[in-house]
Structure formats: structure tokens, C-alpha cells
Amino acid sequence: MRIFIDSANIEEIKAANDLGIISGVTTNPSLIAREGRNFRQVVEEIAAIVDGPISAEVISTEAGAMIAEALELAAIHPNIVIKIPMLAEGLKAVKELAAQGIKTNVTLVFSANQALLAALAGATYVSPFVGRLDDINHDGMQVIADIVPIYAQYGLETQVIAASIRHPLHVLQAARLGADIATVPYKVIMQMVKHPLTDAGLARFLADWEKVKDK
């Protein structure tokens, strides 16, 4: 399973990229708003840092307007993937963008049926939001568990991005279930790095080395 960073913060994206473990970036309007910066400028800066798919979301809700926005965003950099909300109009836009060779990431997906429709429309990626389902007392990971075998059974090539990841266990579960990608906030990436036994083990190695280093 690959890991994308779910962030529009340039410092976080640089730091995660330096670790050598991320292969893409996802943004959304809320993440951009959190930075309080110009959308296009943020996307350009991300594209200069990460050599991989960068999802940038349209804000229109009608197919024609989504397509017009998508064409503008896609012109920013060849790695831009257009994030399209899971609406009937969104499916129409995905079909047209796929016909034009533009990659899409269907977002705000909360059921396997929505994911099936997104794949049939020609989405490159689909983003089920596991954390937001957990928040309302549903089993978010079950949606990943449903989508992965359905896509495999019918040879659908759309890649599954486990999104709305809240903690390291979500990443582990997504990997076990065969998600292609998890898009992970920086804080959770750093939580994945850490283990108390690693810290304790290193402290002991260094302390023992001190005893013999001059011998």
C-alpha cells in the first residue's frame, strides 16, 4: 500500500517528502482554507515538492462548471488529479474528464455502491472517508472491505484511497484490507514512525556504548 499525505501545509508536505515514504498528496477546500493562502499558489508549491499525484478539488456542483474548473486545475501541472465530489453531476464530469485523459479522484464517498458508480464512470481514484463514518457510529473500514473485492472481482482499475484517516490503526487496517493507498495527515505519519520500545532500545544502546567507547 502506498501513502499519500493529506495536507495543504507546505512545511508538513516537505517534511513528509523528506522521509521518502510518500508518493502523493491530497488536498481539499477545508485544508486549503486552514492555510489561508491562494489555492493555485499552494498547488503549484506542492507540485514543486512532490513528484506524484496531487489531488486538487473543484468547488462547482454542476458537470459543465466542474469540467471547466478541472481543465484549469489540470493545466497547473501534469501531476494534478481532479477531485470531484460524489454527485450525479460529478459522475458526468468524471466520464468526460476520463475521455479527455484527465485523472480524477472521486471524493466524499461513504458507500461501496458510490465507489462502484465512480469506477464505472472512469474515476482514477476513489476516496472513501473512513473517519467520518466512524464519527457517526458506522464502521468506516467496512466500506474499504467491501470496495476492494468488488473492484477485484470485476477488474475495475480505479484505485482505492482510504481517506479521513484519524489514527495509525486506520492505516494498518486499510493496508490489511488491500487499499491501494491511504492518505494520511502528517501527525498520523509521525505517530506511525514512533514506538516506545524503539526509543528505549536506542537509549540503552547509546548508554552501553558510552561505557566502552574509549576502550
Cite the active site residues.
83
Handedness of CA 32, 4, 131, 190 (dihedral sign): negative
Q: Does 26 bind ligand E4P (CB under 6 A)?
A: yes
Taking residues 77 to 116 in sequence order and writing x for each that binds ligand E4P by CB under 6 A, - otherwise, the string is ------------------------------x---------
Residues 120, 184: Cα–Cα separation, whole Å: 26
Q: Which of 104, 114, 158, 183 binds ligand E4P (CB under 6 A)?
A: 183
Say which residues have a Cβ less than 8 Å from residue 183's Cβ, sequence separation at least 6.
3, 4, 5, 6, 24, 26, 127, 161, 162, 163, 165
Q: Which of 92, 132, 138, 167 binds ligand E4P (CB under 6 A)?
A: 132
Residues 74, 137: Cα–Cα separation, whole Å: 37
Residue showing cell 556504548: 209
Q: Does 159 bind ligand E4P (CB under 6 A)?
A: no
Q: Which of 35, 65, 89, 131 binds ligand E4P (CB under 6 A)?
A: 131
Instruction: Write out the residues near ligand E4P by the rule CB under 6 A.
Output: 6, 26, 28, 107, 127, 129, 131-132, 163-164, 183
